[in-house]
Chain A
Amino acid sequence: MSDFLKIEGLKAQIDADGTPKEILKGLDLTIPKGEVHAIMGPNGSGKSTLSYVLAGREDYEVTGGSAHFKGQDLLELEPEERAALGVFLAFQSPVELPGVNNANFLRTAVNAVRKARGEEELDAVSFLKLAREETSRLSMSGEMLKRAVNVGFSGGEKKRNEVLQMRLLKPSLAILDETDSGLDIDALRIVAEGVNSLRGPDFSSLVITHHQRLLEYIVPDRVHVMAHGRIIHSGGPEVATLLEKQGYKQFLEAAA
């Protein structure tokens, strides 16, 4: 049972102004336990859609195929149940929650998943200690904990806040949707380190990116090329280098 995440023939569509638009068109992907896989693909190929469908966003309708995680039918679960099971999505565009204190949000989230996982809830003091450790590890200012969730955060701050949430929620499957975009090289290193230090036999990750640069810091076990709602090629880390040099063209032609 080393297949941790198993996606078979996954099809999903969205209602685009009344007409259904198919975005995922029979996608297959398997991530074994403890592995980090990367997905690269042109804009509009459906990468974010895949991440949303895995996290349980309801406006995407699954019309075929399956997705199992830890042997459970993922598609049957509510988003919060998936979170409890260990699925975490770092959003490409993190959402602002006006007036909701970040520290409070984080603590409530952490305790919600801890409770659902049958773990003991953290009191305010031990949570704050943990949160301070993690913010300084990510070179975030402690001020960020006092502000409203993502409100007025810079692009880079929002991404770091996602990584902070990931580290606090301790997922077993972290999906990072273009977490590197908008980050300078120092921030990129810090974020990569934030992911790498979680790597281990119980942590798998799906890293969605446009740039090979991130994969120099988070070295993936496998790289998948996605186009038109499907995985059209899979290989080792060398695929990323190849893509960076030659673009998607050859893969698209080979798949056609």
Chain B
Amino acid sequence: MPAVSETREAVEKLAKSNYEWGFETNVEMDLAPKGLNEDIVRLISARKKEPQWMLDWRLKAFRAWQDMSEPDWAKIKHPPIDYQDAHYFAQPKKKSGPKSLDEVDPELLRTYEKLGIPLHEQEMLAGVEGAGQKTPVAVDAVFDSVSVATTFRKTLAEAGVIFCPISEAIIEHPELVKKYLGTVVPVADNFFSALNSAVFTDGSFVYVPKGVRCPMELSTYFRINARNTGQFERTLIIAEDQATVSYLEGCTAPQRDENQLHAAVVELVAMEDAFIKYSTVQNWYPGDENGKGGIYNFVTKRGICKGDRARISWTQVETGSAITWKYPSCILAGKGSVGEFYSVAVTNGRQQADTGTKMIHLAPDTRSTIVAKTISAGQSDSTYRGLVRMQPKARNGRNFTQCDSLLIGDQCGAHTVPYIESRNMSARIEHEATTSKISEDQLFYCRSRGFSEEEAVGLIVNGFCREVLKELPMEFAVEAQKLLQISLEGSVG
């Protein structure tokens, strides 16, 4: 039997093995009643002790959401989502906010351990001085909806960097939040962003002042933990003139039987000569072999290069979720500003991904680069959807797009949907696309050198993704490779 079909069988068997990180921690939860109405929005705002302006903002979003309907243009299918059948607020029970890690529920720390958070980060989480010689990583851990531990606040504060849960920023830095929240992703931008705006419970806030290079990588680990709790993170990152910041987001989720909605909104604002690098490793629970119980991941991520020569770079490794709907985008409003999108999307089993980017060139001499790698296995379906728009003022705008698909087995699908809108004669847009399969020759070559079939597939896939993986910060590169290997174990045929 040809090796590929045999691999597929082996893999299909493996796909049935349990989601490696599917476990649940046992922390008591403070749950709001199921359902979504104005009272729930008020309750969330009240629990967060928010000022009136924030509540008004939420209510406005909620009313807008009520008049909207789910988008239907993406190449994804799912049973209708009952928005009234979920809890919109869940919080681990605690007496008062932890002053130090000692006060953090040991169960939580064990969770991090199970998640395989790298040892040096655990050490830092535990406050061990001088752990490793690498760039330190600040971890603002979001456990369910509430941030429970923030480290390195002091070092960051000395540099003038604000890095805190957004709920705290709303209270401590209202002028900044008011000024920027909803300016990149307007409240009623889309169905899911409106929902998020109404009910978001937490997320991260980052402010890097003028001329400051953020002294460490910022990292947040998200994790869904409460049964039937939608997750609505809200992240806002602002880099003033000449400021530089690298933000890392990663997540895994426990096993579930009911679909869970995840609708995050991330907004980035880069001023003159500022650079924001946003990296994601996404590994939400993809569902069982029948696709049951996986996370629905509807994310709106957008950055604006407001100032001249500003640069925003998105890097994502998407391996999880039952459904991924996600288009990290850049609005290039500053002259000579730069947008980048590097993506690896792996689908397997019955996963569906419709992901890509939008590069909106508004100003002269703006440049954008898109490198999207799609790997489909099992019976999964993956679509790259990208928009490059050159507005009349984007003289000499440049875009380079490369989309490569790798198919594993013959039951999966990969699609490339590039939209190109050029309203400007001097703009140049290049698009390259390839589709390939892992060949028998490659598998046999590797195996004859001592690799197992799975290792061979992992090796080939990691090679395929190399251009993207090398964009990840060191902290994430290893984890991402491991993740690809893990998803291959259960997903590649």
Contacts of A90-119 to chain B: CB distance below 8 A: 91, 94-101, 105, 108-110, 112-113, 116
B3:A59 contact, CB within 8 angstroms = yes
B445:A84 contact, CB within 8 angstroms = no
Is A244 among interface residues, defined by CB-CB distance under 8 A? no
Chain A residue at minimal CB-CB distance from B460: A97
B442:A83 contact, CB within 8 angstroms = no
Is B463 among interface residues, defined by CB-CB distance under 8 A? yes
Contact with A112, one of B440, B442, B455, B464 (Cβ below 8 angstroms): B455
Is B459 among interface residues, defined by CB-CB distance under 8 A? yes
Is B449 among interface residues, defined by CB-CB distance under 8 A? yes
Distance in Å: Cβ of B4 to nearest Cβ of chain A: 9
Point out which of B6, B450, B459 has the most chain A C-beta atoms below 10 A from its C-beta: B450
Distance in Å: Cβ of A74 to nearest Cβ of chain B: 13
Assuming A59-B3, A99-B465, is B450 touching A94 (CB within 8 A)?
A: no
A95:B3 contact, CB within 8 angstroms = no
Is B402 among interface residues, defined by CB-CB distance under 8 A? no
Q: Which residues of B contact A89 (CB under 8 A)?
A: 448
Q: Which residues of A contact B442 (CB under 8 A)?
A: 95-97
Distance in Å: Cβ of B460 to nearest Cβ of chain A: 6
Contact with A78, one of B446, B447, B449, B464 (Cβ below 8 angstroms): B447
Chain B residue at minimal CB-CB distance from A106: B449
Interface of B is mostly: helix
The tally of residues in A whose CB lies under 8 Å from a CB in B reads 33
Q: Which residues of B contact A112 (CB under 8 A)?
A: 449-452, 455
Measured in the bound complex, the distance between the Cα atoms of B447 and A108 in whole Å is 12
Measured in the bound complex, the distance between the Cα atoms of B449 and A94 in whole Å is 12
Q: Which residues of B contact A116 (CB under 8 A)?
A: 450
Is B475 among interface residues, defined by CB-CB distance under 8 A? no
Point out which of B452, B459, B464 has the most chain A C-beta atoms below 10 A from its C-beta: B459
Q: Which residues of A contact B445 (CB under 8 A)?
A: 91, 94-95, 97
Point out which of A80, A101, A105 has the most chain B C-beta atoms below 10 A from its C-beta: A80
Assuming A59-B3, A99-B466, is B444 touching A109 (CB within 8 A)?
A: no
Assuming A98-B464, A99-B462, A112-B455, is B440 touching A59 (CB within 8 A)?
A: yes
Measured in the bound complex, the distance between the Cα atoms of B446 and A113 in whole Å is 12
Chain A residue at minimal CB-CB distance from B442: A95
Chain B residue at minimal CB-CB distance from A90: B448
Contact with A79, one of B448, B460, B467 (Cβ below 8 angstroms): B448
Distance in Å: Cβ of A121 to nearest Cβ of chain B: 12
Taken residue by residue from 390 to 404, chain B's Cβ proximity to chain A (1 for < 8 Å, 0 otherwise) reads as: 000000000000000
Is B157 among interface residues, defined by CB-CB distance under 8 A? no
Chain B residue at minimal CB-CB distance from A87: B448
Is A169 among interface residues, defined by CB-CB distance under 8 A? yes
A100:B463 contact, CB within 8 angstroms = yes
Chain A residue at minimal CB-CB distance from B444: A57
Is A148 among interface residues, defined by CB-CB distance under 8 A? yes
Chain A residue at minimal CB-CB distance from B459: A100
Is A165 among interface residues, defined by CB-CB distance under 8 A? yes
Is B129 among interface residues, defined by CB-CB distance under 8 A? no
Binding site for A on B (CB under 8 A): 1-3, 6, 439-442, 444-453, 455, 459-460, 462-467
Q: List 22 A-B contacts (CB under 8 A).
A: A58-B1, A59-B3, A78-B452, A79-B448, A83-B447, A83-B449, A84-B450, A95-B441, A97-B442, A97-B445, A97-B446, A97-B460, A98-B463, A98-B464, A100-B459, A100-B462, A108-B455, A109-B449, A112-B451, A112-B455, A113-B449, A148-B463
